[in-house]
Amino acid sequence: MRKIKETLRLFHDVGLSQRQTAQAIHVARSTVQECLARAARAGVTWPLPDDMNDETLERLLYDRDGNASGGTGVEPDWRAVSLEKRRKGVTLQLLWEEYRHGQTDAYSYSRFCELYAAWRKKLHPTMRLDHKAGERAFIDYAGLTAPYIDAETGEWRQAQIFVAVLGASNYMYVEAHASQELGNWLMGHVRAFEYWGGVPELLIVDNLKSGVNKAHRYDPELNPAYQDFAEHYGLAILPARARKPRDKAKVEVAVQIAERWILARLRHRLSRQPSGGRAQARKNRPTPAPV
């Protein structure tokens, strides 16, 4: 809600200048100037009638030219506005004045700023990635764990949830591990490949210690056993960049599915791990074509 009433009161009743009024209500002087000009054109004086509320006052001053909400002004070239604003000394106020020069149907300065801010938010869209069948698989551990009782010791333990998903088909493989140790990590890959019936060309993985000794944007250092694993299967491993979840967005979504459709449904069940065995869960889907 614009501070119209307070602007009119401070200027007309208290006797502050436009600059002082702007400082008092924490807005730009141009905003106060425009508000007073609109009030003068609409014949609004102070004090206001008793039956005039904020909505009626704003509609009276701003809805006449459609600039209060949707606006009917001529749409500026926002790209050109953005490029000009990068120049030293150029402000939105100056660009708005240049935009409205010679126009009878121009946006108000406040609406001009609102539309420019909305346009700016659209400058960084997320690009949709197209994955070829069998090209990439994304692998990670879920953040949530699953409690179970060790059959040998009777102790409560937390199972780590291994999640793997193919890029093109979103075909998932999920199983529970006793820990994130290297052996479990590698065998999770092997069983995922067996389940899919093939091996992808490229693995996109998180930077956990079981697979990546040193995370680096351009030259990551893989665990030697993980490197041998890649050479054995004839595939490439590409660790995701640190703090860049979009690099492995596929498995982030797969982890959410596993947490919601498997872990959440098992939250009231008591699991007991057989001696020497492993807890394993797979999401039911149609049998895929070999990758």
Same domain, 106 and 230: no
Same domain, 177 and 239: yes
Report the residue count for the chain: 291
Whether residue 255 has pLDDT greater than 80: yes
Asked whether residue 244 is assigned to any structural domain, the reply reads yes
Among 7, 1, 9, residue whose Cα is nearest residue 54: 1
Asked whether residue 130 is assigned to any structural domain, the reply reads no
Same domain, 233 and 253: yes
Neighbours of 37 (CB within 10 A): 11
Determine the Cα–Cα distance for residues 171 and 279; give it in Å rounded to an integer.
20
Asked whether residue 291 is assigned to any structural domain, the reply reads no
Confidence of residue 285 (pLDDT cuts 50, 70, 90): very low
Same domain, 178 and 110: no
Asked whether residue 283 is assigned to any structural domain, the reply reads no
Domain count, the chain: 3
Which residue's entry shows tokens 């389940």? 195
CATH of the domain at 142: 3.30.420.10
Range of the domain at 50: 1-65
Same domain, 91 and 172: no
Asked whether residue 131 is assigned to any structural domain, the reply reads no
Same domain, 56 and 90: no
Whether residue 96 has pLDDT greater than 50: yes
Note the pLDDT tens digit of each residue in 166-201: 988 889 999 999 998 999 999 999 999 999 999 998
Among 281, 277, 286, 252, residue whose Cα is nearest residue 264: 281
**Confidence at residue 250, expressed as pLDDT on a 0 to 100 scale:** 78
Asked whether residue 231 is assigned to any structural domain, the reply reads yes
- Which runs of E-coded beta strand occur in 86-239? 136-150, 156-166, 172-177, 202-205, 212-214, 221-222, 236-239
Note the pLDDT tens digit of each residue in 25-69: 778 888 888 888 888 877 787 888 777 777 777 777 776 444 444
Same domain, 168 and 242: yes
Same domain, 145 and 265: yes
Same domain, 184 and 106: no
Asked whether residue 148 is assigned to any structural domain, the reply reads yes
Q: Do residues 9 and 31 lie in contact, with contact meaning Cβ atoms separated by under 8 Å?
A: no
Asked whether residue 284 is assigned to any structural domain, the reply reads no
Same domain, 26 and 77: no
Same domain, 256 and 152: yes
Q: Which of 20, 36, 65 is the last residue of a domain?
A: 65
Same domain, 169 and 228: yes
